[in-house]
């Protein structure tokens, strides 16, 4: 056995058996659920949710459309139209439920996977595609949607959200009708210093921020048990604020739990950690192959908890929606898919020098010099291009 193989063998066997019992299987007693995987409505004493049939149908529409956007984006990447894509498959309910719990004045700080939250904040999915196509450096105006830019540096947005929340506090913009922030991050991110520092700052300042952790069980190929020996939501208590675990595949529970935590934050009760217990049903990104490191049985088990299917079952069983409604939603989702596909394919390449445009508000001498150097570099290919053109190549 080589040293590399030995390392692999150890990491496969060492701490997994006990840790798996600890938090892979969410104890139903601690999991807040308002809609079972079978599509039956459940009640929870701390989270009464009054919601109309039309509101549930609107959530169903969101879920179906964001899954379609994701499906289309993966296909576009496979066809060479996008550089990369981080799929949200399986996490639609966590994102739509929490996204729809926000008020217009709240500020959301996403990772790179929050396409469902972007949808809820009114960001045109075409802008997400522009980012992953590499023709846009940001994608959208955060102030227009109260939805910050995607953040690749794992966990750093937890600090941004906390700092922003402290600003809200100092501006006196809190209160029953005031504002709060929400930071999205994954299970892997909870091991980052930035997230732990954000917990401390938010806690001691009583900042109006909600930490929304989508525990999708994996950080690329690292399973949850390599991040923590205790359920993630338990960690909040050590920092001095409440933590809750919600069924992340239950859109109603995610809505109710996030709404309550945001309200507590805006009213001055400080932060909450929400652990949305869910599953990344696809690959980490389109560059990843999960069959190399996880068992297909795990995916099969989670398919039975699909976030969209349970809402559909609930609507059908209760005769709240008929086939016509479901078909119309599918048709609308297909139309969104078609529109964004066409828009993506039609995106022009930006001039290479435009990458210098949005770096600073006012150009410095150093930036001007770098821009000039890059322009000269591009010009150095001009003769070669002319030569090729003359040769008809
Ligand atoms: C600071 C930092 N370290 C490492 C990486 C590489 N990286 C990208 S995604 C990822 C895993 C993140 O897992 P998790 O927080 O569970 O989020 P998920 O992708 O599952 O949504 C890592 C380590 C990074 N982007 N930033
Ligand atoms: Mg993860």
Per residue in 121-145, pLDDT (tens digit) is 999 999 999 999 999 988 899 999 9
40 and 165 together in one domain? yes
Which ligand has the nearest atom to the CA of 216?
2
Mutate to test the pocket of ligand 1, among 90, 196, 220, 285 (most ligand atoms within 8 A of CB): 220
Domain that holds residue 103: 18-345
Domain assignment present for 365: yes
Res 386: pLDDT: 84
356 and 263 together in one domain? no
CATH of the domain at 86: 3.40.50.970
**Does the structure show a pLDDT above 60 at 21?**
no
35 and 97 together in one domain? yes
383 and 295 together in one domain? no
Comparing 114-118, 218-222, 269-273, 357-361, the range with the smallest average pLDDT is 357-361
In terms of C-beta distances under 8 Å and separation of at least 24 residues, what long-range contacts does 349-353 make, across chains too?
A: 349/135, 350/135, 350/136, 352/378, 353/378
Res 17: pLDDT: 38
376 and 227 together in one domain? no
Res 25: pLDDT: 54
Q: Which atom of ligand 1 is nearest to the CA of 227?
A: 16
Instruction: Name the token pair of 328.
Output: 């119309």
Give 165-189 pLDDT, tens digit per residue: 999 999 999 999 999 999 999 999 9
Res 70: pLDDT: 98
Domain assignment present for 3: no
360 and 335 together in one domain? no
Domain assignment present for 242: yes
338 and 362 together in one domain? no
Q: What mean pLDDT comes out for the span 305-321?
A: 97
DSSP states along 65-84: HHHHHHHHHHHHHHTTSSS-
Domain assignment present for 12: no
**Does the structure show a pLDDT above 70 at 316?**
yes
Domain assignment present for 229: yes
44 and 83 together in one domain? yes
Res 3: pLDDT: 38
122 and 226 together in one domain? yes
194 and 268 together in one domain? yes
Domain assignment present for 166: yes
C-alpha torsion sign, points 169, 173, 176, 181: negative
Instruction: Out of 345, 360, 380, pick the residue that ends a domain.
Output: 345
Domain assignment present for 94: yes
320 and 359 together in one domain? no
Ligand 1 environment, Cβ below 6 A? 113, 152-154, 185-189, 216, 218-220, 280, 284
Res 28: pLDDT: 67
How many domains in the chain?
2
Domain assignment present for 37: yes
Q: Would residue 280 show up in a list of annotated catalytic residues for this protein?
A: yes
Mean pLDDT score across all residues of the chain: 92
Q: List the one residue out of 123, 47, 387, 106 whose CA is nearest residue 262.
A: 106
369 and 266 together in one domain? no
DSSP states along 204-220: HHT-SEEEEEEE-SEET
18 pLDDT band, cuts 50/70/90, is: very low
């Amino acid at each position: 056995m080589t040293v590399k193989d030995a390392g692999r063998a150890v990491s496969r066997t060492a701490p997994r058996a006990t840790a798996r019992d600890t938090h892979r299987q969410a104890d139903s007693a601690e999991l807040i659920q308002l809609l079972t995987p079978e599509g039956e409505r459940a009640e929870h004493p701390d989270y009464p949710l009054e919601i109309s049939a039309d509101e549930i149908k609107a959530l169903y529409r969101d879920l179906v459309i964001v899954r379609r956007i994701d499906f289309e984006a993966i296909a576009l990447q496979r066809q060479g139209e996008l550089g990369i894509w981080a799929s949200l498959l399986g996490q639609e309910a966590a994102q739509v439920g929490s996204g729809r719990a926000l008020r217009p004045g709240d500020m959301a700080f996403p990772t790179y996977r929050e396409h469902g939250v972007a949808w809820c904040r009114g960001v045109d999915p075409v802008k997400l595609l522009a980012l992953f196509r590499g023709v846009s450096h940001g994608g959208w105006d955060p102030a227009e949607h109260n939805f910050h830019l995607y953040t690749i540096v794992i966990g750093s947005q937890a600090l941004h959200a906390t700092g922003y929340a402290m600003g809200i506090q100092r501006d006196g913009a809190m209160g029953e009708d005031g504002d709060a922030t929400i930071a999205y991050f994954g299970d892997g991110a909870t091991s980052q210093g930035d997230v732990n520092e954000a917990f401390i700052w938010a806690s001691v300042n009583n900042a109006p921020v909600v930490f929304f952790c989508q525990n999708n069980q994996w950080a690329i190929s690292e399973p949850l048990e390599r991040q923590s020996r205790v359920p993630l939501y338990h960690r909040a208590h050590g920092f001095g604020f409440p933590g809750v675990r919600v069924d992340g595949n239950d859109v109603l529970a995610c809505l109710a739990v996030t709404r309550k935590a945001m309200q507590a934050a805006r009213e001055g009760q400080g932060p909450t950690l929400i652990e949305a217990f869910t599953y990344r049903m696809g690959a980490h990104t389109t560059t990843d192959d999960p069959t190399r490191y996880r068992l297909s049985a795990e995916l099969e088990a989670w398919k039975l908890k699909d976030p969209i299917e349970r809402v559909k079952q609930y609507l059908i069983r209760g005769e709240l929606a008929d086939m016509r409604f479901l078909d119309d939603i599918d048709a609308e989702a297909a139309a969104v898919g078609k529109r964004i596909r066409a828009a993506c394919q039609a995106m022009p390449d930006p001039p290479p020098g435009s990458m210098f445009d949005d770096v600073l508000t006012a150009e410095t001498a150093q930036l001007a010099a770098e821009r000039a150097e890059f322009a000269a570099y591009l010009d150095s290919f001009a003769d070669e291009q002319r030569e090729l053109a003359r040769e008809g190549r």
